[in-house]
Structure 1
Amino acid sequence: MDEMSLASIPLCEKSKAPAAKTTMSVREMQHLLGLGKTESYWLIHKNFFEVIQINDKMRVVISSFEKWYANQIKYHKVNGPPPGEELRKRSYSVVEAAEILSVDTETIYTLIRQGKIKTEIVDFWMRIPRDEFERWYSSQKRLRTAADRERDREIEEQTISVPEMAKLLGITREKVYWILKCKKYCDILVVERVADRPRITKASFALWLKSQSTYQIQAPAKEVPEEVPLKLQRPKSGKYYSFQEIQDFYNISRTTLIKWIRTENIPTIDVGRAKRVRKDVFDDVLRLKRNVEEDT
C-alpha cells in the first residue's frame, strides 16, 4: 500500500481506543475480594450491587460494585485501596468515637444504650452517623475532644470557678450564683462554660470588685489550719471506682456519695450486681469539692 493509500484511511480507523470496561465476571469479583465461590454468590444474591445477564452469564456492574465497596468495611480487595471510604466520611465506628473522646468503648456503648447517641447498622456493623455524633456532642459538655480540652485549658487559665470566687469573697457558692444572676452585676461579670460549669473571667471579676463595695476579697483566717490535700487514688480496675473504694479512699459516707452522684449527675455502670463510677469523672467532681493533690 503506497503513501497515498495510507493517507486516504480515516483517522478513526487507524487507531481506536479500547472501550472502558463496565462489567466483570463473577469469577473476577471472587478473585478481586479473595473469596470462595459460595460467598461470592451469597453477595450476589443479597443484591448489594447490580448484576446483569450477558450471553446467559452473570456480570457484575463495576460502578455499582465500587459504590458498595466504598460503603462497607467487611470485605477487602486482595490488591487495592481499603474499603469504606464513603462510609467513613459519613459515620464513625464505636472504636473511632471512643478515640475521639479519649474514653473506652464501654462509655460509648453506655451512651448508645441510654439512647443518647443513635446508630445505624451497615452490613451487620454498628456505625454512628457523623451528624448524629455532632448533635449529641453539642448537647453536652462533659466529654470533650482533644482540641476542645485544649481550648478548655486556655479558658481555665483566664477564669475562676464558682468555688474559687466564693472562697475569695468568703461567701457561699449559693451567694455567688445569686450574684451572677443579679441584674445589677450580670452586665459586668462575664461567664464562660467549661465542662458545662460556669467560670468567671478574671478581667471581669476585677472590674466587678471595683464597681461595688458590698463584697471584697477576704484575707484567709490565720487560725484556720491549711487543709491537707487529698491524694487521688488509683482504683483496682484502673478506670473505674467501686462505691466501697471511694468510701475507703476519701473517707466519704455512702449517703454523701449517693448524694453527689445525683446532684452532680455522675454516670454509673453496672458490673454484675455492683455499680462502678468512672475514675476521671469522679476525680473532676472531687476537685470541685475538696482540696486535691494531683496524681502523677
Structure 2
Amino acid sequence: MTMPEMARLLMITRDQVYNILNQKRNKGLFEFVYIADQRRITKESFERWHAGQEKYCKLCDKPESEIAAMERKQQEMEKPRLQVDKTKEVFTLQEAAVLLDVTYKDVRKLVLTGELEAKKYGTKYLISKDDIKWFVFQRELEREN
C-alpha cells in the first residue's frame, strides 16, 4: 500500500500519514517493502495498526451520510475558476492570471519586473487587452526560437 493510498483510505492528508508513520509509538508496527524502488506499507501491518487504534476510521467503515458530507465539504473548499469576460478592454491581475493560465503571483511578478505592461490606479493594477495580446505574442515568438 502506498502512502497516498493509506491517506485516501483514512480520508486524511499524506502529511498526516507520514506523521503517523513517524510517531514513536508506531515505530516497528509498520512493515515496509520496496516495489520499483518505492517504499510501501504491507496491508497486514496496516490492518494490525488500524485494529490497535481508535482515532482513525477507514473510508469503508464510515456511514454513507458521513462520506457524502465529507465530499460536499471538499467540493465547497475547491473554488471554481474565475470566469473572465474576454470582451473587456482592461483586466485585473486575477483576470489576467486566468487568461494567461498562470498564478496571480506570477502575473504580479511579471508586472513588477516590467515584462507585462500595466497601469496602476490607486492600489490596483489594470492590464489592457492589447498588452495581454502583446505579451502572449512575445511568448509565442520566444518558444518558436
Question: TM-score, normalization: structure 2?
Answer: 0.41
Query: Which structure carries more helix by proportion?
Result: 2
Rg larger for: 1
Q: Normalized against structure 1, the TM-score is what?
A: 0.22
Greater share of strand residues, 1 or 2? 1
